[in-house]
Amino acid sequence: MTRDRWIYACSECGYETSKWMGRCPECGGWNSFQEIKHLSARTDVKQRGALHLPDSSQSKPTPLSNIDVAAEERLSSGSGELDRVLGGGIVKGSLILIGGSPGIGKSTLLLQVSERMSRRYGEVLYVSGEESLSQVKIRAKRIGASSPALLLTVEREINRICQQVEELSPALVVVDSIQAVYDSGIEGYPGSLSQIRQCCSVLMQWVKKLNVPVFLVGHVTKGGAIAGPKMLEHMVDVVLYFEGDAFQMYRIIRAEKNRFGPTDEIGAFEMRDVGLVDVPEPSKIFLAERPQRAVGSQVVATLRGSRPIFMEIQSLVTESPFGSPRRLASGIDLSRLLLMLAILEKKAGLYFSRDDVYVNIAGGLRVDEPAVELGLCISLASSFKNKEVCSRTFTFGEVGLAGEVRGVSQPEIRIREGKKLGFKRCILPAKTAKQLGEVPGMELIGVETVSEALECALEV
Ligand code: TYD
Ligand code: MG
């Protein structure tokens, strides 16, 4: 007879082994193994982890052309910014995981979405596994939520939650949070690997059966990833991350995974005393506190999805009091900073070897786009030479290892946005400038190399 047995699984990547290990051979995570019950092949299929997959027992191969697809129905979340990140609204029957550090505003946002959607589409079920009804009510009061179709429940057992969903058949379900719910049919405390996996599977099955969209809140670990098995992210349809500094008012939502849309869009919000408010023009905010004619500050045009976002790169280069100088980068990859320093040294003759270098993206944003490299070089050189950069100039362009400035995608969108924000000059790759020709109201300065760019940027 086959028996259930205990195995160990890595909470970071889901790697399974029969004995406990201190370090995961798959992902290298330390102390990440947890004991979980391995269900034998005979165990009732309802208890098994692969529940979220469609029933395959009777499926026959079907020609692709014979498969009918119902028109994808999207619901508006009531927030333009959230809809944008989701790829144009919430798809019915999708499971959306939203992660973020404590206090960032996950519960606030989802309560606001619940309120708006309940007014538009009918009943919404908000399942609070962490807070009491009166705590949720206090928050609801704060954001002015009073819709009679917004139903609250404090329930932590996943099967009972699904039962309620089936009885109500609401337009939307919010489960706050996956770490707080449990399945009484299996062992383990709420938040443990086996419980998270099981609850997500159960939920996934119901979501697909009832065709109701579900938002699932997930806590994040110290490293910033959603706590629980990586498999959780594989199972759900959409993974959103809520980012921003809890000390600052601005919050960004980005999609890490989206089965129904792009993953490069971001949504911007501001936390006010009445909850989260959409920020349709984030560039204006990120540039709002920019000092005029400052040394080491350069505005760059980046692109997130279809939207241009302007941000300010700030550099500070100071003589190092120690033998080994420090390099610190916030909002930008440290290896990218080191690379740009090496290029500036070799190609523009700026020697940073005795200086500390600090770089920051104002507003707490993070950028990974290579288009910021030219701006980063100008900002570093400006601080190094103690020369101002003209505050009405912005830039974009990738810098190659030979010091050449390379083109980036969709320059027209970036320039259009620059004009809208009141910039007068743009330093950009020479080839792109040639292609664009004359742009009324904007002086285009095409540069071929990084040293040419520094000459143009720092002469004023
Ligand atoms: P919360 O939504 O509970 O965060 P999470 O669920 O991600 O842990 O709370 C977010 C923070 O925002 C909290 O510290 C209080 C603050 N806040 C406001 O500033 N304005 C508001 O209208 C509300 C409801 C909360
Ligand atoms: Mg919360």
Q: Whose CA is nearest to atom 21 of ligand 1?
A: 275
Centre a 10 Å sphere on the Cβ of residue 301 and count the other Cβ atoms it contains: 30
Is the whole-model pTM more than 0.85? no
Angle made by CA atoms 294, 300, 303, in degrees to the nearest 5: 155
Residue 64 phi, psi dihedral angles, 5° rounding: -55, -40
Res 365 pLDDT > 80:
no
Ligand 1 centre from 105 Cα, in Å? 5
- Contacts of 295 by beta carbon, 8 Å cutoff, 6+ apart: 382, 383, 386, 387, 388, 389
Res 4 pLDDT > 70:
no
> Is the C-beta atom of 141 inside 6 A of ligand 1?
no
> Is the C-beta atom of 167 inside 6 A of ligand 1?
no
In Å, how far from its chain's centre is CA 287?
Answer: 21
Ligand 1 centre from 1 Cα, in Å? 53
In Å, how far from its chain's centre is CA 363?
Answer: 16
Ligand 2 centre from 103 Cα, in Å? 7
Residue 171 — pLDDT band, cuts 50, 70, 90? very high
> Is the C-beta atom of 277 inside 6 A of ligand 1?
no
DSSP H helical ranges for 2-96: 80-86
Q: Which ligand has the shortest distance to the CA of 109?
A: 1
Mean pLDDT (whole number) for 91-115: 93
Q: Whose CA is nearest to atom 12 of ligand 1?
A: 105
Query: What per-residue confidence (pLDDT) applies to 56?
Result: 59
Q: Return mean pLDDT, the chain.
A: 88
Residue 51 — pLDDT band, cuts 50, 70, 90? very low
Res 125 pLDDT > 70:
yes
> Is the C-beta atom of 111 inside 6 A of ligand 1?
no
CB-neighbour burial class of residue 19 (10 A; exposed 0-12, middle 13-18, buried 19+)? exposed
CATH code at 285-457: 3.30.230.10
CB-neighbour burial class of residue 107 (10 A; exposed 0-12, middle 13-18, buried 19+)? buried
Tell which wins on pLDDT, 274 or 42.
Answer: 274
CATH code at 74-280: 3.40.50.300
Ligand 1 centre from 246 Cα, in Å? 9
Q: What gap in Å lies between CA 234 and CA 197, rounded to an integer?
A: 11
Mean pLDDT (whole number) for 208-223: 88
Q: Which residue has the tokens 């609801």?
A: 140
Ligand 2 centre from 237 Cα, in Å? 21
pLDDT tens-digit map of 12-35: 777 788 888 999 888 888 888 888
Q: What gap in Å lies between CA 80 and CA 60, rounded to an integer?
A: 41
